[in-house]
Amino acid sequence: MEVITTNNLKKEYHESEVPVKALNGVNLTILDGEFTAIVGPSGSGKSTLLHLLGGLDRPTQGTVVIDKTDIGKLSSGEIIDFRLFNIGFVFQAYNLIPVLTAKENIEFIMMLQKVDKHQRRNRSLELLEAVGLKKRADHRPVQLSGGEQQRVAVARALASKPKFVLADEPTANLDSRSAENLLDLMAELNSKLKTTILFSTHDERVIKRARRVVSLLDGEVRDDSER
Ligand code: ADP
Ligand code: MG
């Protein structure tokens, strides 16, 4: 089943005098359960594409359909709710809330979803166990390594039971060992929990672990291959 479908997706930025064509007609279908890498050199449009798929920004032209909803038709208010219940995010810079513990960071998203306290606690501990950090439940982000923080971020992305997880260069700030561990974890969660995961990277070692690789160049899909 299709989780995400884009049709002739285009994005131009008009922040300088010369407009930048960041995406130039991307047609992409992501199926339920995929573990897919979006790859390409810096400036090829990876972040722009993930932002549009996640409803964090709107296209100049074209559509993004997520599980039958054309997100371009949602109001700004509706899109916030849609994101909360359908999409998990992992960012390059982890973006954990510094004053909250690992457990609280994971619970926070469920609080927004109005999940009751008991369920929140159980699910956050379950997820911390799944990412191998149960013992770090009460640590704040500064007390965790980069690799550990990103594992908490992955647990947080899964907390809302999203239809899919978007991870924009999740390993960019990690040393190569932590990067490989994180990818192994994401691959394991993908096969165990059947969560669809889409991540961007330009790291060869990370690319190797993807099942499908979509290559972008100058805002266009140049290659799309399964392995
Ligand atoms: P990647 O993530 O692959 O490095 P991006 O999607 O960030 O690529 O960028 C694609 C192109 O769009 C680049 O030329 C970049 O400079 C440009 N770009 C990205 N964001 C903006 C923005 N907010 N304003 C203007 N240009 C942007
Ligand atoms: Mg980027």
**DSSP character string of 60-120:** SEEEEEETTEEGGGS-HHHHHHHHHHHEEEE-TT----TTS-HHHHHHHHHHHTT--HHHH
Does the beta carbon of 6 sit less than 6 angstroms from any atom of ligand 1?
no
Mean pLDDT, range 26-54, rounded to an integer = 97
What's the pLDDT score for residue 19?
A: 92
- Looking at ligand 1, which residue's alpha carbon is closest to its atom 23? 13
**53 CA from centroid of ligand 2 (Å):** 14
- Looking at ligand 1, which residue's alpha carbon is closest to its atom 22? 13
- The share of the chain scoring above pLDDT 90, in percent, equals 94
Does the beta carbon of 22 sit less than 6 angstroms from any atom of ligand 1?
yes
- How would you class 60 by CB atoms within 10 Å of its CB: exposed for 0-12, middle for 13-18, buried for 19 or more? middle
Please name which ligand lies nearest the alpha carbon of 57: 1
Mean pLDDT of the chain: 96
SS3 3: strand
**Contacting residues for 179 by C-beta, under 8 A, at least 6 apart:** 171, 203, 205, 206
Domains in the chain with CATH codes? 2-226 (3.40.50.300)
Does the beta carbon of 217 sit less than 6 angstroms from any atom of ligand 1?
no
What's the pLDDT score for residue 136?
A: 97
In this structure, how many other beta carbons lie within 10 angstroms of the beta carbon of residue 46?
25
* Residue 204 pLDDT greater than 90, yes or no: no
Q: Which atom of ligand 1 is nearest to the CA of 216?
A: 3
Residue 218, both tokens: 């100058």
Does the beta carbon of 88 sit less than 6 angstroms from any atom of ligand 1?
no
Please name which ligand lies nearest the alpha carbon of 39: 1
Q: Which atom of ligand 1 is nearest to the CA of 14?
A: 25
Give the integer Cα–Cα distance in Å for 1 and 170.
26
Does the beta carbon of 19 sit less than 6 angstroms from any atom of ligand 1?
no
Q: Which atom of ligand 1 is nearest to the CA of 50?
A: 6
Surrounding ion ligand 2 within 5 Å at CB are 46-47
pLDDT tier, 198 (very low <50, low <70, confident <90, very high otherwise)? very high
**39 CA from centroid of ligand 2 (Å):** 10
pLDDT digits (tens, 9 = 90+) for 59-74: 999 999 999 999 999 9
Question: Running DSSP on this structure, what letter comes out for residue 141?
Answer: G
Does the beta carbon of 160 sit less than 6 angstroms from any atom of ligand 1?
no
Does the beta carbon of 59 sit less than 6 angstroms from any atom of ligand 1?
no
pTM of the model: 0.95
Beta-bridge partners for 64: 6
**99 CA from centroid of ligand 1 (Å):** 31
What's the pLDDT score for residue 189?
A: 94
pLDDT digits (tens, 9 = 90+) for 173-189: 999 999 999 999 999 99
